[in-house]
Structure 1
Amino acid sequence: MKKILILHTSLTGNTEQIAYLLKTQLDDGRFDITTKDIGYENIEVDDLQDFDGILVGTYTYDDGNLPYEIEDFHDDLDHVDLTDKIVGVFGSGDRSYSYFCNAVNLFQEQFKKTNATVLEHTVKVELYPEEDEDLESIRELGVQFAHALLG
């Protein structure tokens, strides 16, 4: 059984809800799923070796910045090789800022440097995931992620 880590940080619960929706979609008996909130649970980049697939979710702070609680994890990805791992990235943001969901972009680029197979499709949700297009984007990430893991 393929092991999945859904790792997220969420200030208002919006990104946490996306993580929940992805877990619900993937939790069909084909995968062993672990969910962690990096703001409350300790996880090191070396722990990623224990998983076949990793979904990382983050909100975007202020004008396109990473949240403080996930900055070190992001930077530590410089020191890990994730060859043969499948990675997907999702997050929430607020369009009133210039760089909507930029933290998603930052994580996607950082994971590409780790030799992981990083899915091009990302989920970027305006605040809470309730619009049809948001739910479809989340569903699409889940489908692509599962397909990549199962070959």
Structure 2
Amino acid sequence: MTNSAAAAHFRAKLSFETDPSDVFADQQEGAAFALVDTRSQAAWDQGHAVGAIHLPTREIAARASAEIPHGTPVVVYCWSPGCNGGDKAALAFAQLGYDVRLMIGGFEYWAREGYPVESADGPVVRAADPLVAPVAAPSCAC
């Protein structure tokens, strides 16, 4: 028997959230979307996902329309699951009419899962953390 309330909940959740593995796979497939790092300049300089656009949350209302064409799907991230900055950024994009999803896990899990990172000094090379990412396979296949 199907639990329709649970099915509706998870269907809705998956339409508004994604994860680093899926974002990276979409990048590799050439999917058209804007990956937006919503953190401060200092955080961006320390390290960010390769391919991301830097647009701090407090600047979204003023800059988004000029930098990201309407109709472009947006994926936002902030530091980590312990930070709600990504949620605030997703809300700001949604209020502007964008199709937006939150990358759960934020930059922390992007980096810990071993996806490409760059800093103000260039590429950052780090191994995948075996506590959060498969180290012997390209993905967890979940």
Q: Same fold (TM over 0.5)?
A: no
TM-score normalised by L of structure 2: 0.39
TM-score normalised by L of structure 1: 0.37
